[in-house]
Amino acid sequence: MDTASVNSFIPTLDQIDSWSEILTLLPILISLEILLSADNAVALASLTKSLKNSTDRTKALNIGIIISLIFRILLILLSTFLLKFLFIRVFAGLYLIYLFFSNVTFKNNKIDNSSNNDLSSTNKRIDFLKVVALLSITDLAFSIDSITTAVAISDQYILIVIGVLIGVIALRFTSEIFLRLLEYFIRLEMAGYIAILIIGVKLILNTLVQEILLPDYYFYLLIFISFIWGFSKRK
């Protein structure tokens, strides 16, 4: 949901005649992006939690989000071609749904790395790279819906890229916050995975069913409720 706020401003931005007028809107855009990137941020923070070292978590977030930024820009530049293929949105939705079940339903079948103190540096490196890859792909899947919507509304690619940059900066800022909050709220990690599931279902349904029949605010309301539940119990 990180670039969704920019989409609503695109009609206004199209009518702006000077960069000075755009700069007056940037504080508003930044504030909205920080608020609306919460679902993506807590999801990424939940994925990063598998790394036991706090330094590795921060490093993984930085690398993963930078790679995702490159993917986002490529998606924007290739959007005229990619928008013709609805299966890309469906695939992204299925990936997010799979991510939910693989981390929640089958979580008990996974090996707890914290109980194994003999992990080699090679295994730790592999785990780190897996998390970076997950962060990059998951953030891209989260952003597909809003980016394709923005490109469909406006051909002002510079403004869309500005929105993406603001969204990534906000995402990095909020992810770090949620990474710390995960240590205090025991349900917040699950709330992050629930957000992943909801966005995945939203991508598929909005692709296969007319959006007017399933307004976005239904999905965002569910995410908001999951966040309330996530913050309902402290350690």
pLDDT over threshold 70, residue 36: no
pLDDT over threshold 60, residue 25: no
pLDDT over threshold 60, residue 29: no
Quote the pLDDT of residue 8. 46
- What distance in Å separates the CA atoms of residue 185 and residue 83, rounded to the nearest whole number? 39
Instruction: Report the share of the chain in percent with pLDDT over 90.
Output: 5
CA torsion angle 81 83 89 91 (round to 10):
-30
Q: What is the mean pLDDT of residues 97-126?
A: 67
3-state secondary structure of 35: helix
Higher pLDDT, 66 or 109: 66
**Angle in degrees, CA 44, 61, 115, rounded to 5:** 75
pLDDT band at 26 (very low <50, low <70, confident <90, very high): low
pLDDT in tens, 112-170: 444 455 456 777 788 888 999 988 888 888 877 667 666 665 566 676 777 778 778 87
Q: What is the mean pLDDT of residues 192-200?
A: 88
pLDDT band at 5 (very low <50, low <70, confident <90, very high): very low
Quote the pLDDT of residue 4. 43
pLDDT band at 225 (very low <50, low <70, confident <90, very high): very high
Tokens describing residue 58: 């921060």
- What distance in Å separates the CA atoms of residue 128 and residue 149, rounded to the nearest whole number? 33
- What distance in Å separates the CA atoms of residue 174 and residue 50, rounded to the nearest whole number? 18
- What distance in Å separates the CA atoms of residue 104 and residue 167, rounded to the nearest whole number? 27
Maximum average pLDDT range among 22-26, 92-96, 218-222? 92-96
- What CA–CA distances, in Å, run from 118 to 48, 109, 110? 21, 20, 17
